[in-house]
Amino acid sequence: MVGRLLVIEGLDGSGKATLTASLSAKWKAQGRRVAQLAFPRYTDSVYAELVRDALYGRMGDLSDSVHGTALLFALDRRDAADEIRDLLAGNDIVLLDRYVASNAAYGAARLGAPTAPNDFPSWVRELEVERFGVPVPDLQILLDVEPAVARARALRRADESADRALDNFESDGGLQRRTATMYAALADEQYLSPWRVLRPAAGGAVPIPADLLGPA
């Protein structure tokens, strides 16, 4: 029996890691076998190391190339594809913090979407799914947080870490707002696979629907 591949998507500072940990703990409490991965895999992949350098402007004009940086993100996932398949073979649920849709959303936003519509999500799908053959998610969960709230969290996280400054994506408020719009559009069109949209309650906590915690 092969497990299900679930992905948490959202802006920087939206709470993806917190939601991933919460879902994992609840499923494990039900006796399910759960594995987790987060992308980019900065400590495990040379492609992710290059991504980090690009995000901090240390790769010359490659840092300005939307398709060039997107290719590095994609190569990181191609490099992890066999590991994901192995995890799916040995677990009930494999839960990913970011995946293919993040590449589509941020890249399209960097090219000006939604003001300047483009076919970047199709390019990402063709590259990552059709050419590189990365596993397709069974479900993608969008953590829909206001960009201003997500940015404040990202800033606070950077302030609390002596070696963690905001990267070029995180520090660009306009990019974050456009990316939020692109994420919503991808969820509406069910890009790659089915999506669920979760929104924080008034106190900031994210309600987890009971059916999501049921048979996955």
Rounded CA separation 90/92 (Å): 7
Return per-residue pLDDT of the chain as tens, 216 residues: 689 999 999 998 888 988 999 999 999 999 999 999 999 998 888 988 988 888 888 888 888 899 999 999 999 999 999 999 999 999 999 999 999 999 999 999 999 999 999 999 999 999 999 999 999 999 999 999 888 887 787 777 666 665 567 777 777 788 999 999 999 999 999 999 999 999 888 767 788 888 887 765
CA 108 to chain CA centroid, Å, is: 14
Rounded CA separation 15/203 (Å): 13
Q: How many degrees, rounded to 5, is the angle at CA 186 between CA 36 and CA 47? A: 45
Predicted pLDDT at 99: 98
Domain ranges of the chain: 4-42+77-206
Rounded CA separation 207/92 (Å): 22
Predicted pLDDT at 158: 63
Topology adopted by domain 4-42+77-206: Rossmann fold (3.40.50)
